[in-house]
Amino acid sequence: MSQTEAPWQVIARRKQQEQSDTIPKSWTLKTRPAADRINVLAIPRECGILNTREIEITEKYDATALVQELAAKRLKSVDVVTAFCKRAAIAQQLTNCLTEIMFDEAIARAKQLDEHLERTGKPMGPLHGLPISVKDSFKIVGRDASIGYASLCFKPAETNSALIEMLLQAGAVIHCKTNIPLTLQALDSHNNVFGRVLNPANLKLTAGGSSGGEGALIAMRGSVLGVGTDVGGSIRIPAMCNGLVGMKPSHGRIPYAGQENGSIPGTETLGIRSVAGPIAHNVRDCELFFKAIGDLEPWTYDPECVAQTWEQQVVRSAIRTPSLSDHMRRLRIGIVKTDGITTPLPPIQTILEEISNTLKSNAAIQVVELDVTSLLSQCQTVANGLFGVDGANTAFDLMEATSEPISPWLKSRLRRKKSLAADKIRDLQARRNELQTRFLDIWKPHGGYWKNASGSAGNLDVFICPVAPHPTPAIDTWNTVSYTSAFNLLDLPAATLPIRPIRASDLNGKISDESSAPNGWEKYNRKLWDGDRSVFLGGTLCVQVVSQRKQERVLLQALSKLQDSLAVLKEDKAVKSKL
C-alpha cells in the first residue's frame, strides 16, 4: 500500500481484481463501444461472444417460458445458465452491474439439475434450472455481502438468507449478485468498491437505486428474473429507470430474513420494514416468482411471513371482460395524478392522461379519479422521520473504518445525527398507524377521496400513480422518493409498469402555475425541466400500480390486465401517420 492510498482503496482494488479474474478471457469484449454510443443494449448480440443459440435463449424466452422448456427437457439448464452467465459477463463490462460473480458454481449446479431431471424424470421445483440474479444484500454461503462497504469485504457469509434457501429449494440457479449504492439509501447506484452502475439504454441516465445493478442486468438480458429489495422505492425506481416490471409486496409476503443491510440487527423493526421482490421484463414472470415462493410455505423459512399459500391469497373476480352471460363486475382502477408535494413534469402528466383515456374506453374497466394529496403529503414527513431511526451512525461507522468517502448523490443528503429517542419513534409509528387507517377510506366510493363516486357500488381494486414526478433523469439527479416511499410506510403492495418509450414530442410541454411559490422539491423538479430535456430520451415512461395491503394477487391480476389494455400506447402515432 502506498502512503497516499487509504485502506478502502486497497480493498477495492483487490475486490475488483477478484471480480475480473472470474470472467473467462473468451467472454471479454475485444473492443469497447465508441465514445459517442450511449445505448449499449444491442452489444451482447453484436460482439461475437454469444453464439446464435445463446442469443436465442437469452432473447426469445421469458422466465415463464424457460421453466416450461426446461421441465419438458427441450432445453438443458447447463445451456441456459451458460448463455446467461456469458451475457451477464458482457453486461458487467458495459454497465458495472455485478458484485459477486458465481458463474462456475452456477454452471456446475445446472449440470446437477440436468442429471436430476434425467434420472428422476421430475424437475427439482417450480424454478428448475432457471438462472436468477439477486441483489448484493442477500447472503450466500462463502460469498461476501459487502453492500459496497470496503469494511464488509472479504467477510464471506456463513449462512444463506431465507429467500436464497427458498430459491435453491425451488430449483433456481443463482449465477450472480448485483451492484448497489453505498448505504443502500441512494437513488443512484454508486459505491467505492465496485463503482457506478450505468443505464444500458442511455449511459447518461441513472440506472436507479438501490437495486440498480438488478435493473441494468435484466435490461441487458444478463438475467431473466432478478430479486431486489425495497424500503423506499428501491425495486420500483430501478425498474422505471430500465423500463422493467418491478414489484414490492407487503412486509411478510416474501422472506426477508438474513439480509445484510448495514445496520445493527433489530434496527429495521423500529422504522419502515424493507421487503424483497422481483424485477422482470413482464408481469407473468413476477407472478411466477410469487407463486413459486408462496407454494413453498415461506413462513417456514422466515417467522415474519404470513401463513398463506398462493392459492389462499386474496383474489378478485373483476379481471375478465364482462359479457351478457357474465355477471362479473368491472375492474375498478383509480388515477392519482399528484402527491400534493411535487407536481409531475409534463411527460408524466401526459402519460397519466393517455392511460386514463385508454382505460375509459375499455368496457371491462371503470376509472375513478382520486384526490389523496391530504394523505400522501403527510406520508413523506413520517417516512423521512422513520428512515432516520439510527441517525445514519452505523453507515458512517462502516465508512470511517476504512477512511471511505461518501458517494456523490448522498453528500448533501446524509449526515450523522443523534439516534431517535424511543418516544419520538413511538410518535412516528402512531402517526403511521393513523395514516394506514385513514388510507382504508380511499378504496371506498363514499370515503371522501373519489371525484366521481356517483353510481359506484363497490371498492377500488388498484390505483395508478407516478413512480416519480419526472422521467428517468441524468446520473445523480433523482429528485424525491415521495411517490414510492409512501407505500412502504403504508405497507401496500406496489409495482412499476412500463408503458412506452419517452418521445421527443413529450419534451414540448410547459409547466403550469409558474407564479406559485414552489417548495424545494418543486424548484428542483423545474430545474430538471429547464435544463437539457433531450437527456430524458432513451428512458421509458412508467407508472406505479398499488393495491390494498397483502393483496399481491389482486395487484398481479390487475397488472396483467393493464399490461394488455395499455399495449396500444406503445405505438408512436406520429410515426405511424407518416408511414
Binding residues for substrate: 184, 210, 231-234
CA atoms in the 13 A half-sphere facing the CB of 234: 26
Residue 137 annotated among the catalytic residues of the structure: no
Which of 15, 86, 135, 337 does the annotation list as catalytic? 135
d(CA 163, CA 138): 8
417 is catalytic: no
Catalytic residue among 234, 263, 482, 547: 234
Q: State yes or no: is 210 an active-site residue.
A: yes
Contact between residue 572 and residue 537 where contact means Cβ atoms under 8 Å apart: no
What distance in Å separates the CA atoms of residue 52 and residue 256, rounded to the nearest whole number? 38
Please name which of 295, 307, 293, 485 lies closest in space to residue 381, comparing C-alpha atoms.
485
Burial of 2: CB neighbours in 10 Å, binned 0-12, 13-18, 19+? exposed
Residue (of 260, 247, 259, 181) closest to 213 by Cα position: 181
The torsion of the CA quartet 257, 260, 261, 265, rounded to 10 degrees, works out to: 70
> Which of 177, 219, 171, 212 lies closest to 66 in space, CA to CA?
171
- Residue corresponding to grid cell 441517525: 391
For β-strands 173-178 and 131-135, DSSP reports them as: parallel
Cβ(412)–Cβ(479) under 8 Å? no
- What nine digits make up the cell of 553? 394477487
Question: What is the dihedral sign for C-alpha 41, 44, 46, 47?
Answer: positive
| Angle made by CA atoms 90, 96, 100, in degrees to the nearest 5 | 90
Q: Which residue numbers are catalytic?
A: 135, 210, 234
